[in-house]
Homo-oligomer: A and B are copies of this chain.
Amino acid sequence: MAAEYILTLSCPNRPGIVAAVAEAIFQYGGNIRDAQQYDDQAATRFFTRIMLDDAGNLNLDGLKAEMAKVAERFSMQWAIRDRSQKRRVMLLVSKFDHCLADILYRWRIGELPMVPTAIISNHPLATYPHLDFTGIPFFHMPISKESKPEQEAQIWKLVQETETDLVVLARYMQILSDDLAGKLAGRCINIHHSFLPGFKGAKPYHQAHARGVKLIGATAHYVTADLDEGPIIEQDVERISHKDTPDDLVRQGRDIERRVLSRALTWHLEDRVLMNGSRTVVFRD
């Protein structure tokens, strides 16, 4: 198969952007295989994701140099990535391992284009007797109020050492400090077990039960210093009934959480998520 590249960019909107980019790609031997765009009229900002392949005579360095000029002209934020260069992903987990198990399964059968760099838990390895961590370093990093700064320093050191591109809080159940959240801005995804903005904070399924809602949900979002307020990537819900106890909601919620997180992760890994202020642009397939 021909090498494939993903070009993503955003810039203030004005006529001629598509023509300039398409011309550059064509001129340097690229073939546009897929393209999606979004013109935020309120913010007058333009976003696009282009998948291109080598039609036989792609001059990648030439294209990059040309794109740099185009980007200069249109004040673009842009990136181009070789699809075969998989992102490096660190997984943080607590004792609830359903999202972790799901991610590992999908990764092993080839659904998730990523390289797991580490699994970090505040619980010991023995917590996961039935999961197969073969090939992924596991780190037990217990955490207490006192040790939190130190534990986070360890995490950050590992992120750097392993050249991790993305951190996934797969039901990690710990709140990152503003400092670490800041360092991981735009590359740390959390799964919150409610349909935000309803039921922020702790025990959302119990809150949902108490309020008597008829659907429960989950939300995958980028982590920011502002708890449960980060840019939302994906959400989903399922119908519940008056018969469901908080424990039933926790059980049903597991299915929603793993589905929502795996979608958000997939889209991030495929460069489908662009930041638009406190919101996201998601170029779904």
Give me the interface of A with B, judged by CB distance under 8 Å: 14-19, 22-23, 25-27, 29-39, 41-42, 55, 98, 101, 104-105, 108-109, 111, 129-132, 134, 195-199, 211-215, 217, 231-237, 241-245, 248, 251, 255, 259, 276, 278-282, 284-285
Contact = CB atoms under 8 A, between A and B. Distances in A.
B212 A278 contact: yes
7 contacts: A15-B26, A19-B23, A32-B37, A98-B105, A101-B105, A214-B282, A242-B282
**Highest count of chain B CB atoms <10 Å: which of A17, A25, A26:** A26
A152 to B, nearest CB: 27
A36 B214 CA distance: 18
Contact of A16 (B26, B37, B197): B26
Contacts of A285: 241, 243-244, 248
A217 B216 CA distance: 12
Contacts of A280: 212, 242
Contacts of A130: 104-105, 108, 132, 134
A31 B15 contact: yes
B197 A211 contact: yes
Contacts of A199: 197
A280 B241 CA distance: 10
Contacts of A231: 212
Contacts of A279: 211-212, 242
A15 B55 contact: yes
Given A196-B213, A214-B235, A280-B212, A35 B15 contact: no
Contact of A35 (B23, B35, B282): B35
A108 B132 CA distance: 14
A237 B212 contact: no
Given A19-B23, A213-B235, 16 more contacts: A15-B55, A19-B26, A34-B37, A34-B39, A34-B243, A98-B105, A98-B109, A111-B251, A131-B132, A195-B198, A197-B211, A212-B278, A215-B236, A241-B282, A241-B284, A242-B276
A32 to B, nearest CB: 5
Contacts of A211: 196-197, 232, 278-279
Contacts of A111: 251
A118 to B, nearest CB: 18
B37 A35 contact: yes
A231 B111 CA distance: 30
Contacts of A42: 245
A234 to B, nearest CB: 6
A214 to B, nearest CB: 4
